[in-house]
């Protein structure tokens, strides 16, 4: 999808219906990494984010469900604190061994 720079996003949803929740989870899993039950981290460019939002809007019911998308700059991403299990999602192309 081009070489546009990707930005780091935290995506969190609260979906009332099991079927809709499963569909939203599959959409998120296709682009990001699940870091909590309904929280994902993803590096997306503008085209990928807009495509994801179009797909989410077909599933999400605004009167019952919610999706929050947080854009974190590089400095803020570096300040993420993880206690216990887990790690912050590394940038694409970076392998941690």
Residue in this structure with the two tokens 């929280």, named with its chain if needed:
39
Does 94 reside within a domain? no
- Does 58 reside within a domain? yes
pTM of the predicted model as reported, rounded to 2 decimal places: 0.84
- Structural domains in the chain (count): 1
Instruction: Give the domain extent around 38.
Output: 7-77
Per the listing, tokens 């700059």 go with 73
Distance set, CA 91 to CA 29, 42, 67 (Å): 16, 9, 23
CATH number reported for the structural domain that contains residue 55 in this entry: 3.30.70.240
Average pLDDT, the chain: 90
Number of other residues whose CB lies within 10 A of the CB of residue 66:
12
Inside any domain, residue 87: no
72 inside domain:
yes
Which pLDDT tens digit goes with each residue over 31-42? 999 999 999 999
Domain assignment present for 28 = yes
Residue carrying the six token digits 């969190």 = 12
Least confident segment among 2-6, 9-13, 34-38, 65-69: 2-6
Alpha carbon distance 48, 63 (integer Å): 25
């Amino acid at each position: 999808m081009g070489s546009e720079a990707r930005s780091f996003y935290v995506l969190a949803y609260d979906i009332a219906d099991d079927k809709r929740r499963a569909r939203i989870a599959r959409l998120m899993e296709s682009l990001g990494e699940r870091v909590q039950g309904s929280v994902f981290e993803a590096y997306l460019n503008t085209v990928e984010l807009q495509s994801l939002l179009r797909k989410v809007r077909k599933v999400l019911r605004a009167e019952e469900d919610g999706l929050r998308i947080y854009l974190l700059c590089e400095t803020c991403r570096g300040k993420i604190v993880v206690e216990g299990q887990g790690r912050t999602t590394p940038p694409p192309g970076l392998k941690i061994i």
